Amino acid sequence: MAEIVLDKVTKKYPDGALAVSEVDITISDGEFIILVGPSGCGKSTTLNMVAGLEDISSGELRIDGKRVNEKAPKDRDIAMVFQSYALYPHMTVRENMAFPLRLAKVDDKTVNSKVDEAAKILDLTAHLERRPANLSGGQRQRVAMGRAIVRNPSAFLMDEPLSNLDAKLRGQMRTSVSKIQKQLGTTTLYVTHDQTEAMTLGDRVVVLRGGYVQQIGSPQFLYDNPANLFVAGFIGSPSMNFVPATLEEGSLRSALGTVALTDRVRRLVEAADAPREVIVGVRPEHFEDANLLDEAQKRGGTTFSAQVDVLESMGSEKYAHFTVEGDVATSAELAELAADSGSADVPGAGSAIVARLSAASSATEGQSVDVWFDADKVKVFDPANGKNLTYSE
């Protein structure tokens, strides 16, 4: 059990490349923290620095109040689960899991009882005498977890532990990782690029971009109050819709029509000293089929009509994809997000919008539909620096 503090931790490579810049994170005892971001954002480097596999260029890493910058990995009492599992192929599952204990010179009886106990938690008892080569991907992943669990370390580090599993297994393992962490109550630092894992697993999420921390907070807080365009676009699936807009006289004019700002939003925007040209962001679930709403509800937002390109019916809800004419919202953050998700390569004019409509909606593909969205839920961003102008604690 341990509290881990990263105090202005920085990683600078000899060639001058800055991988991680002044990261400040305080992980309290027993907390489950997720490091998330697109590839190359420095999340794995940060994890390796905590593990001791990479040197810290400047700043301080403290575990339980003690500086550990100079300590070797083995002296930090931290266990790590690797993306590739890194199981020892020449050892049986039992020996793989027992390896840390053997190195610690624990007596045979204790080793066996601890391994058996961990195997029971992970449902590996039947496979203890097999070798990693004869195991399935999910079983290998569990062995890697087991190797981390047996020695009862003060913290777990996990480097994208589920990314090599297929979608169904990943879902199951996600639940069991969460269960095991709660059961053991061990401080955990978990790296992923999968925002679903970030949302569902962590107590708090740290969003990284290019080596800089963008925002730290609970998943729900990050979802509701993103600090900037990057966090807004990264967290949430399907992601937030962005369109350029002009802010004048208390209303927002964009391809989605003109919205009168609610008092709450107007106060925030004024306090933030917003420029004229902004980017407006709307979450898919803040849209609704206008025909399903009564007049009173409609007054709280704006209605526009659009032609549905693709309609995905999930049974409980419908996702309507449509394109609105006009400029596409551009900013460095959005370009990076698009590059990471691959959507930068998808050609198309105008802004692609995804709206989550109620299952009762009569929208059909190729037909025009009246879409309403909630004016109080819009986010307004500064295109110059990506800052959320409607941010509130």
Partner 1 sequence: MVMGGAVTTGRKVRWGLVDILVLVFALVPVLWVISLSFKTKDTLTDGNFIPVSWTFQNYADIFATSEFLRALVNSIGIAIIATVIAVVLGTMAAYAIARLDFPGKQILVGLSLLIAMFPQVSLVTPLFNIERQLGLFDTWPGLILPYITFALPLSIYTLSAFFREIPWELEKAAKMDGATPAQAFRKVIAPLAAPGVFTTAILVFILCWNDFLFAISLTSTTASRTVPAALSFFTGSSQFEDPTGTISAAAVVITIPIIVFVLFFQRRIVAGLTSGAVKG
Q: How far is the CB of 193 from partner 1 (least distance, A)?
A: 16
Residue 4 interacts with partner 1 (CB under 8 A): yes or no: no
Helical packing angle, 108-121 and 137-149, nearest 10°: 130
Query: Does 18 contact partner 1 by CB under 8 A?
Result: no
Q: How far is the CB of 147 from partner 1 (least distance, A)?
A: 7
Rounded least distance, CB 80 to partner 1, Å:
4
Binding status of residue 79 toward partner 1 by CB under 8 A: yes
Positions in 28-57 near partner 1 (CB under 8 A): 51-53
DSSP string over 180-231: HHHHHT-EEEEEES-HHHHHHH-SEEEEEETTEEEEEE-HHHHHHS-SBHHH
Q: How far is the CB of 266 from partner 1 (least distance, A)?
A: 52
Cα separation of 337 and 3, whole Å? Answer: 32
Using CB under 8 A, which of 2, 4, 5, 80 touches partner 1? 80
Q: Which residues are CB-contacts of 277 (< 8 A; sequence separation ≥ 6)?
A: 244, 245, 246, 247, 383
Least distance CB 149 / partner 1 (angstroms): 12
Nearer to partner 1, 80 or 274 (CB): 80
By CB under 8 A, residue 162 contacts partner 1 = no
Q: Find the binder of partner 1 among 12, 131, 253, 298 (CB under 8 A).
A: 131
How are the residues of the chain apportioned to helix, strand and coil, as percentages rounded to the nearest 5?
35, 30, 35
Nearer to partner 1, 68 or 205 (CB): 68
Contact code string over 91-130 relative to partner 1, x by CB under 8 A: --------xx--xx--------------------------
Sheet holding 301-313, edge to edge: 287-289, 368-374, 301-313, 317-324, 351-358
Binding to partner 1 by residue 362, rule CB under 8 A?
no
Cα-based angle 221, 227, 228 (whole degrees, multiple of 5): 135
Range in contact with partner 1 (rule: CB under 8 A) among 21-29, 78-86, 182-190, 249-257: 78-86
Q: Which residue in 43, 151, 193, 356 binds partner 1 (CB under 8 A)?
A: 151
User: Counting contacts by CB under 8 A, is residue 87 touching partner 1?
Assistant: yes
Q: Are 56 and 11 in contact (CB under 8 A)?
A: yes
Nearer to partner 1, 135 or 290 (CB): 135
Nearer to partner 1, 189 or 279 (CB): 189
Per CB under 8 A, does 140 bind partner 1?
yes
C-alpha 106: how far from chain center: 38
Give the C-alpha distances (Å, rounded to integers) separating 17 from 41, 47, 211, 281: 12, 18, 10, 33
By the rule CB under 8 A, 84 interacts with partner 1: yes
Q: Phi/psi at 22 (nearest 5 deg)?
A: 45, 60
Judged by beta carbon, residue 132 or residue 219, the one nearer partner 1 is 132
Between 101 and 324, name the residue whose CB sits nearer to partner 1: 101
**Nearest approach, Cβ of 84 to partner 1 (angstroms)?**
4
Smaller CB separation from partner 1, 160 or 336: 160
Least separation in angstroms between CB 53 and partner 1: 5
Cβ–Cβ under 8 Å, residues 37 and 43? yes
Given the complex with partner 1, which of 49 and 78 has the nearer CB atom? 78
> Exposure of 69 by Cβ count < 10 A (0-12 exposed, 13-18 middle, 19+ buried)?
middle
Contact 9, 212 (CB under 8 A): no
Contacts of 39 (CB under 8 A, 6+ apart): 193, 340
Closest CB 192 distance from partner 1, rounded Å = 16
Distance of CA 179 to the CA centre of its chain: 19
Residues that bind partner 1 (CB under 8 A): 51-53, 72-74, 78-80, 82, 84-90, 99-100, 103-104, 131-135, 137, 140, 147, 151, 157, 164
